Amino acid sequence: MLVIGAGVAGLMAADSAARAGLQVLLVDAFPVPGGGCVFDAAARIDGVAPAVWRAERLAALEARENVSVRCGLRVRFRPGGVCEALERPLGAGRWRLQARHVVVATGARERPIVFSGNDRPGVMPASVGLAAFARATEEAPRKLAVFASNARGLATAVALHDCGVAVKAVIDPRPAADPAIAAELIRRGIRLEAGAVVAATRGWRQLKGIDICGYDPRSGALGVNIMQMSCDALLVSGGWDADPHFAALADMAQGHDVAEGELARACMADGVTACGGAAGAADLAAAVASGTQAGRAAVLALGADPGPQSGAVPEVIGDGMAGLALLPEDAPLFKVPVRGRGRRLSGFPENRLFR
């Protein structure tokens, strides 16, 4: 069995299959696996922090003779269970993988927000910025702002602050942000601009500042006044949805209306099971349960006995993302009316995700 993605759901799927005696290959695109759960300092999985749980579970998998773990491999799926794996850095190696069953645990994909100059270096997905700055793989910016149209994006600002990154401001186009998260931002001294949008960015080779305008969600019009704020990094979150690449494999539309669990049911017929964020799981508890179920489903599909231990689900408490919707209530792709110069990208470039 091949498990693509070594986040919480992928680790649970690999563990369930390994306990049943299957040969498991677990791959992840990043050098350090674990997904976004490792940045939630308040959550606890089986009584320990997610980063500690991830390390313990990964070490237990690596100690098994029937499990192989490879990090830094980006997998491209092909029909028939054939996958092409590209080793990072790109060009270091290419592998052809064929498995009797594939579990897709690549997580949800963050949507951009379309506004003038959103292609400028220094503008990046909120999840990518959180991973880079919290893991100290990149030097933390001195002036960072977050532009998010959903509660999960605002929670990213809280997680960044708790990881020691100074967040200057949070811009939210909704008239009123979620009260609980707004209170957390205020308690940490983070400025919240509700009912406003980033209309444009400033800078030449690097982001130097942003233009903030008021926004009326009913008419979609921008306010007349412009507030200029200096910043050297802007993290953007337009919401989350299932990975459209794997949705296409299941002959589904690549829009943003994938219902929770629908992708998993559609993929089962072709020997592919989606779990975690790729199947609509919105929080840690749902991802853990989804990964466990995907591993057991793969074991049953291959005619093996899952056994009683493969269905054990760890206890999750204190998850900061619990109860936050995976898909925002706004339009499928939030677009700011045109103001200022600069290109307007409707998707994050692939190289921007790893720059």
Among residues 102, 76, 72, 109, which one has the least CA distance to residue 89? 72
pLDDT at 168: 93
CATH code for 112-238+326-354?
A: 3.50.50.60
- Any residues with CB less than 8 A from the CB of 179 and at least 6 apart, and which? none
Q: Taking the model in full, what pTM does it have?
A: 0.79
pLDDT for 26 beyond 90: yes
Burial 96-108 (b: 16+ CB within 10 A, else e): ebebebbbbbbbb
Pairwise CA distance, residues 201 & 207, whole Å: 7
Q: DSSP for 254-278, please give it.
A: SSS-PPTTHHHHHHHTTTEEE-GGG
pLDDT at 258: 36
pLDDT for 5 beyond 70: yes
pLDDT for 137 beyond 60: no
pLDDT for 263 beyond 80: no
Task: Quickly state the pLDDT bin for 282 (edges 50, 70, 90).
Answer: confident
Domain 2-109+240-317 has CATH 3.30.70.890: no
Q: What is the mean pLDDT of the chain?
A: 79
Strand partners of residue 145? 169, 234
pLDDT for 163 beyond 90: no
Higher-confidence residue of 304 and 163: namely: 304
Pairwise CA distance, residues 85 & 93, whole Å: 8
Task: Give the pLDDT confidence of 188-232 residue by residue, as tens digits.
Answer: 999 999 999 999 999 888 899 999 999 988 888 888 888 899 999
Of the candidate ranges 33-42, 115-124, 269-278, 339-348, the one whose mean pLDDT is the lowest: 339-348
Rounded alpha-carbon distances, angstroms, from residue 150 to 42, 105, 112, 338: 20, 23, 12, 21
Among residues 240, 274, 242, which one has the least CA distance to residue 258? 242
Token pair in block for residue 333: 């792709």
pLDDT for 344 beyond 80: no
Higher-confidence residue of 151 and 251: namely: 151
Contact (CB, 8 A) for 72 and 200: no
Contact (CB, 8 A) for 278 and 263: yes
pLDDT at 145: 95
Rounded alpha-carbon distances, angstroms, from residue 158 to 136, 166, 277: 17, 10, 21
% of the chain surpassing 70 pLDDT: 75
38 CB burial (10 A radius; 0-12, 13-18, 19+): buried
**Dihedral pair phi/psi, residue 287, rounded to 5°:** -65, -40
Task: Quickly state the pLDDT bin for 18 (edges 50, 70, 90).
Answer: very high
Q: DSSP for 118-168, please give it.
A: TTSTTEEEHHHHHHHHHTTSSPPPSSEEEEESSHHHHHHHHHHHHTTPPEE
pLDDT for 252 beyond 50: no
Task: Quickly state the pLDDT bin for 25 (edges 50, 70, 90).
Answer: very high
Rounded alpha-carbon distances, angstroms, from residue 142 to 129, 167, 168: 13, 8, 9
pLDDT at 355: 31
Among residues 138, 166, 169, which one has the least CA distance to residue 154? 169
Task: Give the pLDDT confidence of 89-105 residue by residue, as tens digits.
Answer: 656 678 888 888 888 88
pLDDT for 253 beyond 50: no
**Start-end ranges of CATH 3.50.50.60 in the chain?**
2-109+240-317, 112-238+326-354
Pairwise CA distance, residues 308 & 91, whole Å: 43
